[in-house]
């Protein structure tokens, strides 16, 4: 009921949208809010900024149509499927002079989801890995705890001991299942339901010890010391590290991309086909593509971006941290995935429900 | 004029129940597709009658059959029923004494007590449920308090379990239980209790043979007001429950968002509605009987 009324309200708002406003729908904890004020001051366009914490929520809004948003930020595989469904409009590069700042290393990789990068620009990218409360994990598993390995979360004997302290995992089958496949030596990007089924025993064995499958609560939970381990997104865990350091509560958080290999993902900014204000949306993208603005965003959220020109403005904490900007060796160890076909998606979701609920 | 007055509730029913239900039912009979919106067929009125026939021909019950093939769905329905029933009972257990106390409080106190019951509604429901995360978490107020008093040595895991879901439902729906019970208890004729005592009842016997039966309508109304929304509850189990809290609201969410399968999601919703219609009809009958008795 709540969501229905909300959607209706949005729908109404969308039809009455005036030319000088832009509605942006981005991930939670994913921008320096000062940038939003700067955009309004520079362009005189009113910015309405909403957040979500899962690709699924965004995709459902996109596929329902008339979302009322001008800029949205799906990840690569989701972007690809939504382009096929006709959810986005091609970008007008003449309105994006700052697009020359984009980094070819990242553009090459995002082109596999969006051929020729016709519909999207890269906002941020990162890896999916493990965040640990170093002190507590070492207290439980000893000083040689495998904090840089998936064994920490995929071996029941480790998880059994960590359970009392708390373990969160992303509620995102498209992230956890590839990691599990990779851990058992299968292709993380497998589309074969029989191969995907092989992770079931592994994940079923550790599920009793997972405190919660959730995709955003772990930032606070890690920072407050409520949990010891989180399988999550690189920058989120680094934000938790900083929040804990600021709170000075004795919690020390570390992030590691698993030694076995990690999923590399790309969050892409795109303009919905039915965006009420595509012009303002292009202005927003161009603003984000500005080297200094993009650097400010990365400096704030601890994610790498796809903007080569921004790198000179990045603080050492970001550009010099191999957890954010991996070195060559780590980069080779990263893998990417492609979208699941509808039938495979159903297998994956069913498996995920089974893992989460035990049924 | 009279006909117009009668038509208002029916119009209400038509616009706010039957039309949305028709839309959901239509989607439940469709097939999933990668498009906007993500299902076919679409009713194309420009083709006139042939368009409608083509639309009709493509509808089928396949999505309902699908629900019978996987035991997830009936397990989720059953688990939701169980959680809703237990939560309703617990709410009654907490709510009845509150209502009883309010009804027996001095007259000048009652408006204040009523205000206190309604007061939490001034804050958003979502924020109040979120507040429970802070109270129930491992490092939360409740655990800190229990450790401070020495009742517990180690923090107890309450958040992300079914217990937290029960606490959340009882807390959220308590006013819906208290208010109807209070309304019936307040009307209760005090002389009946005096008569019972004159006839040799102890106070406890008088409670069970006079107060309890007479407050039945309020109890039934309160139970339905709690049970019906609790059955389809999504927010409380997803915020306070654990990953193994199986409720149909969460399954519906998965179908809709993760599988992007609107047709199956709609089929789940239609069945949920049918399950709810049964208690609603019982409730209606009960109300009717009560009204007849009063006349």
- The domains of chain A, with CATH numbers, are 2-126+265-325 (3.40.190.10), 127-263+337-357 (3.40.190.10)
Q: Which of A54, A85, A213 sits opposite B243 (nearest CB)?
A: A213
Answer left, alpha or beta for residue B260, where phi above 0 means left and psi between -120 and 50 means alpha. Answer: left
Helix axes A33-43, A291-301, angle to 10 degrees: 160
Residue A102 scores a pLDDT above 90? yes
Q: Are A244 and A251 in contact (CB under 8 A)?
A: yes
Cβ distance of A345 and B260 shorter than 8 Å: yes
Tell me which residue of A216, A175, A172, A264 sits closest to A30, measured CA to CA: A216
CB contact under 8 A, A226 and B243: no
A359 closest CB neighbour out of B72, B139, B242: B72
Q: Is B199 left (phi over 0), alpha (psi -120 to 50) or beta?
A: alpha
What fold is seen in the domain B66-294? MetI-like fold (1.10.3720)
On average, the pLDDT of chain A sits at 91
Given a cut of 50, is residue A7 above it in pLDDT? no
Count Cβ atoms below 10 Å from residue A50 Cβ, excluding itself.
13
Q: What percent of chain B has pLDDT over 90?
A: 44
Contact of A211 with chain B, judged by CB distance below 8 Å, is answered with yes
Check whether B131 has a pLDDT greater than 80.
yes
Tokens of A324: 């954010």
Instruction: Give the closest of A56, A81, A213 to B34, CB-based.
Output: A81
**Shortest Cα distance, chain A CAs vs residue B70, angstroms:** 10
Mean pLDDT for the stretch of residues A97-109: 94
Q: How far apart are the first and last CA of chain B?
A: 25
B44 pLDDT band (50/70/90 cuts)?
low
| A342 closest CB neighbour out of B32, B75, B256 | B32
Let me know: does B223 contact B84? Beta carbons within 8 Å.
no
Alpha helices in chain B (DSSP H): 2-13, 19-28, 48-58, 62-69, 71-104, 110-118, 125-136, 141-149, 162-187, 190-198, 203-206, 212-214, 216-231, 235-240, 248-253, 262-294
Pairing status of strand A120-133 against strand A304-305: antiparallel
For residue B251, list chain A residues with Cβ-Cβ distance below 8 A: 353
**Does A15 have pLDDT greater than 60?**
no
Q: For an interface test with A, give the residue of B20, B30, B32, B36 to mutate (most A CBs within 10 A).
A: B36
A85 and B35: CB-CB below 8 Å?
A: yes
Q: Do A226 and B35 touch (CB under 8 A)?
A: no
Local confidence band at B294 (pLDDT 50, 70, 90 cut-offs) = confident
Q: Residue B45 — very low, low, confident or very high, per pLDDT cuts 50/70/90?
A: low
What is the pLDDT of chain B when averaged over all its residues? Answer: 89
Cβ separation B258–A87 shorter than 8 A: no
Of A2, A64, A210, the CB nearest to B243: A210
* Minimum distance, in Å, between the CA of residue B206 and any CA atom of chain A: 43
**With an 8 Å Cβ cutoff, are B138 and A226 in contact?**
yes
Q: Give the model confidence (pLDDT) of A138-183 as tens digits.
A: 999 999 999 999 999 999 999 999 998 999 999 999 999 999 999 9
**Chain B positions in Cβ-Cβ contact with residue A85 (cut-off 8 Å):** 34-36, 38
Q: What predicted TM-score, i.e. pTM, was given to this entire model? A: 0.80
N-terminal to C-terminal alpha carbon distance within chain A: 27
Q: What are phi and psi of B143, to 5 degrees?
A: -65, -40
Looking at the predicted structure, is the pLDDT value of residue A13 above 50? no
Better-predicted residue by pLDDT, B203 or A230: A230
Place of tokens 């429900």: A353
Instruction: Provide mean pLDDT across the span B174-191.
Output: 92
Q: Note the pLDDT tens digit of each residue in B85-102.
A: 999 999 999 999 999 999
Minimal Cα–Cα distance from A309 to chain B, Å? 37
How much is the average pLDDT of A320-342?
A: 88
Which residue of chain B has the CA closest to A347?
B259
Per-residue pLDDT at A1 exceeds 60: no
Q: What digits encode the pLDDT tens for the residues A113-145?
A: 999 999 999 999 999 999 999 999 999 999 999
Q: Is A247 on the interface with B (CB under 8 A)?
A: no
What is residue A117's DSSP assignment?
G
Dist CA B285 CA A206 (whole Å): 49
DSSP letter at A335? E
CB A3, CB A28: distance < 8 Å = no
Distances (CA, A) of A259 to A111, A210, A263, B204: 26, 21, 11, 69
- Nearest CB to A345: which of B35, B75, B259? B259
Overall residue count recorded for chain A in this entry: 359
Put simply, whether A213 touches B (Cβ < 8 Å) is yes
Region A228-250 average pLDDT: 93
Is A57 within 8 Å of chain B by CB? yes
Helix (H) / strand (E) element for A270: namely strand A262-270
The SS3 of residue A298 is: helix
Measured between beta carbons, the chain B residues lying within 8 angstroms of A357 are: 243-246
- What pLDDT is recorded for position B289? 83
- Which of A225, A345, A357 is nearest residue B139 as measured by Cβ atoms? A225
| Residues B252, B76: Cα–Cα separation, whole Å | 10
Write the DSSP string, A306-327: SBGGGGGGS-HHHHT-TTTS--
Q: Is B258 close to A349, i.e. CB distance below 8 A? A: yes
Number of C-beta neighbours around residue A42 at 10 A: 12
Instruction: Return the H-helix or E-strand segment holding B40.
Output: strand B39-40
Alpha helices by DSSP H, listed for chain A, are 2-15, 33-43, 55-64, 76-84, 104-110, 134-141, 151-154, 156-162, 173-183, 193-196, 199-206, 218-224, 234-247, 278-289, 291-301, 316-319, 328-332, 342-357
Closest C-alpha to A226, from A257, A253, A254: A253
Q: What is the pLDDT of residue B58?
A: 73
Q: Do B35 and A59 lie within an 8 Å CB cutoff?
A: no
- Shortest distance between the Cα of A38 and any Cα of chain B, in A, equals 30
- Contact between A46 and A277 under an 8 Å Cβ cutoff? The reply is no
**Class of residue A298 by CB neighbours under 10 A (exposed 0-12, middle 13-18, buried 19+):** buried
Please state, in angstroms and as integers, the Cα–Cα distance from residue A318 to each residue in A59, A190, A242, A262, B216, following that order. Answer: 30, 32, 12, 19, 66
Cβ within 8 Å, pair A59-B260: yes
For residue A332, what pLDDT is reported? 86
Is A346–B251 a contact, with Cβ atoms under 8 angstroms apart? no
- Domains in chain B: boundaries: 1-60, 66-294
Tokens, residue A217: 């609560």
Which chain A positions have a beta carbon within 8 Å of B261's beta carbon?
Answer: 346
Q: Bridge partners of A253?
A: A133
Which chain A residues in 73-102 lie under 8 Å from chain B, judged by CB atoms?
Answer: 81, 84-87
Contacts of B259 in chain A (CB under 8 A): 345-346, 349
Query: In whole angstroms, what is the distance from residue A125 CA to residue A110 CA?
Result: 10
Contact A271, A282 (CB under 8 A): yes
Determine, for residues B38 and A63 on separate chains, whether the beta-carbon distance falls below 8 Å: yes
- The CA distance from A209 to A154, in Å, is 10
Please report residues of B whose CB lies closer than 8 A to that of A207: 243
User: pLDDT tens for residues B241-291?
Assistant: 887 788 999 889 888 888 888 999 999 999 998 888 887 788 788 778 877
What is the tens place of the pLDDT at every residue in A302-318? Answer: 999 999 999 999 999 99
Report how far apart, in Å, the C-alpha atoms of A182 and of each of A167, A187, A195, A214 are: 20, 6, 11, 21
Residues in A closer than 8 angstroms to B256, CB to CB, are 60
Nearest-neighbour CA in chain B from A256: distance (Å):
25
């Amino acid at each position: 009921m709540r969501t229905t009324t909300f959607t209706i309200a949005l729908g109404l708002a969308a039809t009455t949208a005036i030319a000088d406003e832009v509605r942006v729908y981005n991930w939670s904890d994913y921008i320096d809010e000062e940038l939003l004020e700067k955009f309004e001051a520079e362009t005189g366009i009113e910015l309405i900024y909403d957040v979500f914490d899962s690709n699924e929520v965004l995709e459902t809004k996109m596929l329902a149509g008339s979302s009322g948003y001008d800029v949205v930020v799906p990840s690569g595989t989701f972007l690809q499927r939504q382009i096929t469904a006709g959810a986005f409009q091609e970008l007008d590069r003449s309105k994006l002079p700052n697009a020359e700042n984009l980094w070819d290393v990242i553009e090459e990789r995002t082109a596999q989801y969006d051929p020729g990068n016709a519909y999207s620009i890269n906002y941020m990218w990162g890896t999916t890995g493990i965040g640990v409360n170093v002190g507590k994990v070492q207290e439980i598993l000893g000083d040689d705890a495998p904090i840089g390995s998936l064994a920490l979360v995929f071996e029941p004997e480790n998880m059994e001991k960590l359970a009392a302290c708390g373990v969160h995992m992303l509620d995102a089958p498209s992230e956890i299942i590839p990691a599990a496949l990779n851990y058992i030596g299968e292709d993380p990007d497998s589309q074969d339901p029989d191969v995907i089924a092989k992770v079931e025993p592994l994940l079923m064995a550790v599920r009793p010890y997972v405190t919660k499958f959730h995709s955003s609560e772990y930032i606070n939970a890690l920072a407050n010391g409520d949990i010891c381990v989180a399988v999550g997104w690189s920058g989120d865990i680094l934000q938790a590290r900083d929040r804990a350091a600021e709170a000075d509560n004795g919690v020390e958080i570390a992030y590691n991309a698993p030694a076995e290999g990690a999923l590399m993902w790309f969050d892409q900014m795109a303009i919905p086909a039915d965006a009420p204000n595509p012009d303002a949306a292009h202005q927003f993208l161009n603003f984000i593509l500005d080297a200094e603005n993009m650097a400010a965003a990365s400096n704030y959220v601890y994610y790498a971006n796809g903007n080569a020109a921004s790198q000179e403005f990045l603080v050492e904490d970001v550009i010099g941290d191999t957890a954010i900007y991996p070195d060559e060796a780590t980069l080779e160890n990263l893998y990417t995935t492609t979208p699941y076909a509808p039938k495979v998606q159903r297998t994956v979701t069913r498996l995920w429900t089974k893992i989460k609920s035990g049924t | 004029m009279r006909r117009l007055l009668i038509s208002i509730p029916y119009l209400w029913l038509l616009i706010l129940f039957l039309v949305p239900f028709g839309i959901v039912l239509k989607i439940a009979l469709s097939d999933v597709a990668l498009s906007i919106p993500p299902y076919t067929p679409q009713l194309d009125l420009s083709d006139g009658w042939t368009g409608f026939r083509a639309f009709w021909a493509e509808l089928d019950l396949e999505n309902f059959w699908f629900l019978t093939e996987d035991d997830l769905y009936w397990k989720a329905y059953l688990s939701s029923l169980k959680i809703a029933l237990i939560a309703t009972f617990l709410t009654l257990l907490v709510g009845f004494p509150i209502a009883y106390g309010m009804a027996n409080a001095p007259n000048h106190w009652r408006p204040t007590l009523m205000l206190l019951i309604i007061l939490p509604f001034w804050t958003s429901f979502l924020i109040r449920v979120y507040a429970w995360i802070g109270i129930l978490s491992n490092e939360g107020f409740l655990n800190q308090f229990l450790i401070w008093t020495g009742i517990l040595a180690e923090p107890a895991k309450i958040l992300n379990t079914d217990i937290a879901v029960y606490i959340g439902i009882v807390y959220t729906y308590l006013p819906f239980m208290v208010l109807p019970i209070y309304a019936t208890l307040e009307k209760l004729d005090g002389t009946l209790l005096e008569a019972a005592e004159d006839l040799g009842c102890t106070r406890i016997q008088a409670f069970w043979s006079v107060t309890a039966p007479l407050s039945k309508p309020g109890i039934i109304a309160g139970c339905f007001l709690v049970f019906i929304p609790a059955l389809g509850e999504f927010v409380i189990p997803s915020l306070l429950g654990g990953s193994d809290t199986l409720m149909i609201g969460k399954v519906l969410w998965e179908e809709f968002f993760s599988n992007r399968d609107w047709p199956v999601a709609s089929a789940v919703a239609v069945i949920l509605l049918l399950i709810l219609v049964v208690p609603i009809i019982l409730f209606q009958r009960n109300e009717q009987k009560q009204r007849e008795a009063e006349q």
